[in-house]
Amino acid sequence: AQTVTQSQPEMSVQEAETVTLSCTYDTSENNYYLFWYKQPPSRQMILVIRQEAYKQQNATENRFSVNFQKAAKSFSLKISDSQLGDTAMYFCAFMNRPQGETSGSRLTFGEGTQLTVNP
Amino acid sequence: KAGVTQTPRYLIKTRGQQVTLSCSPISGHRSVSWYQQTPGQGLQFLFEYFSETQRNKGNFPGRFSGRQFSNSRSEMNVSTLELGDSALYLCASMSWDARVERHNEQFFGPGTRLTVL
């Protein structure tokens, strides 16, 4: 079974600064996806960024980027130029790469990191 | 394209009752997954349906069941409600079609907040 661990329950950052959220995972699989989801107070789960394990290049989405270390099973999220709207709970999640229509898919989530951006 | 919708958004039930939650996936998405979110247990996978078949199941008791219809809409049922079933229930849909942008990503609905008294 896969496990995902987020060791930082809470973090805070000043507006316009950079913050890094940590995530480690454990799996015996070789083909998988890693995700960061954001859940603001509205509770709507929003996908921030996705990384495919077979890709060595780190994913980036505007102000969001990841540091994917496959051997170390580490997947951290860097938020640059933090904005007040980035205040939310952030979840790291793992999903096996589906092998055809007969294989199931499920997300395994970490415990979450509550990020507060201060003005 | 419309997002994932869930109804109702809020529910209050008493112990022993049963409840049915509904989820309509993004048009064209054939996979629907359900998750339970609680402060104590975090986000836990309940089950996944694909083409009307349950193909993946989490570690929940048999009181939790679901189904999927031919139009990919899914329902989740909880019988004999317990206080511990109070949670936010999230539904997510996913496309399996490799031709679709952002396939193999789960898109979440706004959730149904269930309170059991």
Residue among A47, A97, A106 whose CB faces B56 most closely: A106
Q: Cβ(B56)–Cβ(A108) under 8 Å?
A: no
* Unique residue bearing structure tokens 């048999």: B62
* Across B17-30, average pLDDT: 95
- How many beta carbons lie within 10 A of that of residue A103, not counting itself? 12
* Across B3-27, average pLDDT: 97
Q: Give B101's contacts (C-beta < 8 A, 6+ positions apart).
A: none
Supply the DSSP symbol for B78.
E
- Asked if A101 and B110 come within 8 Å (Cβ–Cβ), the reply is no
Chain B residues in contact with A50 (beta carbon < 8 A): 105
Q: For residue A59, what are its two tokens?
A: 């994913």
- Backbone angles phi and psi of B83, in degrees to 5: -55, -35
On the 0-12 / 13-18 / 19+ scale of CB atoms within 10 A, B102 is: exposed
The one-digit pLDDT tens for each residue of chain A (119 residues) are 889 999 999 999 999 999 999 999 999 988 899 999 999 999 999 999 999 999 989 999 999 999 999 999 999 999 999 999 999 999 999 998 877 766 778 999 999 999 999 99
Query: Is the minimum CB–CB distance between A43 and chain B shorter than 8 Å?
Result: yes
pLDDT (0 to 100) of residue B45:
97
Q: What is the largest CA-CA distance in chain B?
A: 46
Distance, CA of B107 to CA of A96 (rounded, Å) = 16
Chain B residues in contact with A91 (beta carbon < 8 A): 43
pLDDT (0 to 100) of residue B97:
74
A102: closest CA of chain B, how far (Å): 7
Mean pLDDT (chain B, rounded): 94
The pLDDT tens digits for B65-114 are: 999 999 999 999 999 999 999 999 999 999 877 777 677 889 999 999 99
A10: closest CA of chain B, how far (Å): 14
